[in-house]
Structure 1
């Protein structure tokens, strides 16, 4: 995706450019991910932008907020932010987070499909394989 110029922003909010860090202390904490916006969106910031726009009718037409395609928890955001690093955590350390990995895979697959306009044929093959075959 980076080579094609469509790598999503996974470190900062696309609206404010402020860094976003996973909040592991609040199990209900979420961050938005927008295909249209190109990555992460701080949900509380988005609500503030929306509220400010609705208070001022002249700005309401000018401000177009990106659609939130999915919401990520702290564990999922942590994995997503580490994908670009040289060393990923060992699989044994992350076995309890297997579903988070699957969600990230599908998120990036859908993000690519949104930007390229087509899906990967190999993704169907991967979906058909049993987890035990890996």
Structure 2
């Protein structure tokens, strides 16, 4: 709703549409604040129960919990092809050229590494 009213205002430029846009923005802020408060209430309610723990709280702080899908091998291949040669290495000190030179074996090795890291998080 907010986005649509703003688009309409930019097209028409009328004060009436501007006021509608401002009201929609205020309504959206109220809804977001209510949603955040409801989520916090749920966190505190869960922590007040006998089984509540810090681990539960950590799960609430992870916005991607349950929403992150596994890496696809094709994504690794595309990422490698888009990386430039001759760049500085990261903390692992392994230049990207190594993985590129190893071809499919390098892609598989990197894919396995990334999957293992993803599972441990």
Global fold match (TM > 0.5):
no
**Where is the helix percentage greater, Structure 1 or Structure 2?**
2
If the length of structure 1 is used for normalisation, what is the TM-score? 0.21
**Where is the strand percentage greater, Structure 1 or Structure 2?**
1
**Structure of greater relative contact order (alpha carbons < 8 Å, 6+ residues apart):** 1
